[in-house]
Structure 1
């Protein structure tokens, strides 16, 4: 796949000090300071934080709250760029210990696409990880450009072993899509411990445990259909390992760590090149004359990404971060690319769905397409009325936020947005969450009222 590197520097980058779930970083620079590429400019406070690095050479313009792709404003370091490729010295490390690896990952600023610092995924407090999975089923989580398919498989298998060592895990697997013939061919060219690697399909109830015994190996590459969704981790864990994650828990509670191709590649680069995480890979969609995938310096405003690719203006359309179904619509194109940015989508005004929402007809189309067998219509109705306790009782936390329900709803009800609203309220323990008094939904047969 062709991946273009954006060589044109933006006039200013905006680097948020919170590009992860957890404690924001502490600024290590001040207004007027000069910085170079790879320099640490935000220090992590604890294991739930991840360091931040400059992606450009320049001068710190200010440290202030700035727009973020998640829709909020967060404390950010604004840097006026200069034309220079000066970098801090990168220090590769040979045969790092488990403790060294965790520190490298933390100090390199590596974060999963779902916002959790990678060192926290691998070494969760008070929990033991025995299986590490690399989810390579989605093209949105690009790992980088490789000169040859064999280079991709070699680096990914090396990265898996580094992740396993960091976690203290005895087993690991790379999970690819069953229709990704290029990746399957790349891995099947590889020899692991002198044996030809075979990509094993996860079919029916067959999980990786079967192949671990059959192959007498602690490392596997398996294939399955892509699982689409924003919060797929628990579902993905069960589908691959057969381990059920209890409601309100995470894969770490059953001994599983899940990383993406993007973070696995970043770990490989951090260990073998000493390179911190200051650039990322982003998919582009809906722009005229733009490549499908670009390498972008973290902190580059969306506007500059679009202009550098020869893309069109967003004044007559809708700009979305991280996918049409599950992403966040942007109110400005001045938001920066962050570590969790996977996709930038432009939707023409005539393609924007502006149909009015009507009352639920209880057609159950959303129920039919739900991959985890929930009742999305009921969850949406309860959420819309602020009945969050009842949402929790009917397993709203199990929603993987795939967006299938919203797509098929003939009443055009924003089911996914309502479910997210309720999940956020539950997560915040109802603090500052006002009850909704108005509703265009009726519970009817689904709620009894």
Structure 2
């Protein structure tokens, strides 16, 4: 794990910045600028309509070079504003707003364009339209959490502001039990002048157990050695809160919502400094000369981020965004860092798996390692045959896409890809059924 000294901030301007008009799971924004326009830091570049939106702001001064479809970490080409950054440091007026009512806090968070690591606009995550009793901060990405330990007071203040804005009565910060550096930092931190309670998740003692014994609004729990990725919300809820999600349900259905460390810091910046969401921490690991955690502005090509970490170590074989297990391999390092980017993994040619898949030998290793007690091989086989109703019957939607099954499979079956495909088709069938009944 990285030390604080391993965190750097990229000050060098990229030759070009690619600012996607959609950096969340909702509708894309419409560009507010045109080719040749001059923009400044914090200027709104894209505005959305509707109830599911995340405004896009410029992290750079510069000139609009073009507007069009550009490579994106999602693997798709997304409408983007391409800037040629300049050394100008002019910004829009950043106006702090303190001591405002909760309704205004939510508006500030919305206007700042803050997005969660799982692509949900933060203002929507905090106000899902259902009764919520607990806000979880997922701090189980150790290298990301370490990047913000030097400003932990601001992260905690941002978390408190999220509770105030949403009306949620209590907050639980979730750390990995083996992340000793973060645990020590949180133990030394204070909220409202009182030290934080840091408690282990043991057996049936979930977060509710500790919340009942303390009067604190915020507690910290150390919950196993798991990094909870965006597809692992059900596991996060079950392990930390003891609340299991039924098939097809979401966290608000069990009265819980989730935020990240990055968004808590962004909320602090938006309310106390008036800044929109312009930058965040990204970890760079694998075949690079100096693996580090980097504070980087959105729109910066990942090639520039890798260069800031000493460049590639040898010839790169694959570049993966957001984790080697459940992330997306990109076909070019010109794709930009966006709001939900948490990590970049570089693999060498030798590390890239090129074995061809063979026939399943029914060893059941995938069953042994599945944290959700599914039958990955069976679901994948049915997905390969287009039997999506059967995939649903075998609870394909409960798959958290951790990749453990594919790692242990001696037949090198593309289990995760096939299960992902089945989940997509199941959801498409569900949406078609809903549309047909309307």
The TM-score with structure 1 as length reference comes to 0.91
Deviation at 1:169, TM superposition (A): 0.7
Q: Deviations over 1:227-265 (max 9, x none)?
A: 344401121112111222221111012211101111111
**Secondary structure class of the residue paired with 1:137:** coil
Deviation at 1:430, TM superposition (A): 7.6
1:137 aligns with 2:136: no
8 Å CA contact 2:149, 2:185 repeated in 1: no
* Whole-Å separation in 1 of the counterparts to 2:205 and 2:419: 32
Instruction: State the partner residue of 1:13.
Output: 17
Aligned residue pair count: 427
* Whole-Å separation in 2 of the counterparts to 1:192 and 1:267: 17
Structure 2: gaps of 5 or more residues: 433-438
Q: Structure 1 residues 313, 201: CA separation in 2 closer, same or farther (over 3 Å shift)?
A: closer
Alignment of 1:89-168 (within 5 A): 89-124=93-128, 126-139=129-142, 141-142=144-145, 144-147=147-150, 151-152=151-152, 154-168=153-167
Q: Deviations over 1:295-338 (max 9, x none)?
A: 11111112222234330288652111111111111111111111
Deviation at 1:143, TM superposition (A): 7.0
8 Å CA contact 2:284, 2:309 repeated in 1: no
Q: Deviations over 1:3-55 (max 9, x none)?
A: 11111111111110111001111211111111011111111323311011111
8 Å CA contact 2:287, 2:313 repeated in 1: no
Q: Structure 1 residues 90, 195: CA separation in 2 closer, same or farther (over 3 Å shift)?
A: closer
* Whole-Å separation in 2 of the counterparts to 1:194 and 1:37: 35
* Whole-Å separation in 1 of the counterparts to 2:233 and 2:144: 14
More displaced 10-residue stretch of structure 1: 82-91 or 396-405: 82-91
Q: Structure 1 residues 116, 194: CA separation in 2 closer, same or farther (over 3 Å shift)?
A: closer
Q: Structure 1 residues 278, 196: CA separation in 2 closer, same or farther (over 3 Å shift)?
A: closer
1:184 aligns with 2:183: yes
Alignment of 1:216-295 (within 5 A): 216-228=215-227, 229-295=229-295
* Whole-Å separation in 2 of the counterparts to 1:218 and 1:281: 27
**Secondary structure class of the residue paired with 1:245:** coil
* Whole-Å separation in 2 of the counterparts to 1:232 and 1:367: 18
Deviation at 1:192, TM superposition (A): 4.4
Instruction: State the partner residue of 1:338.
Output: 338
1:54 aligns with 2:58: yes
Instruction: State the partner residue of 1:363.
Output: 363
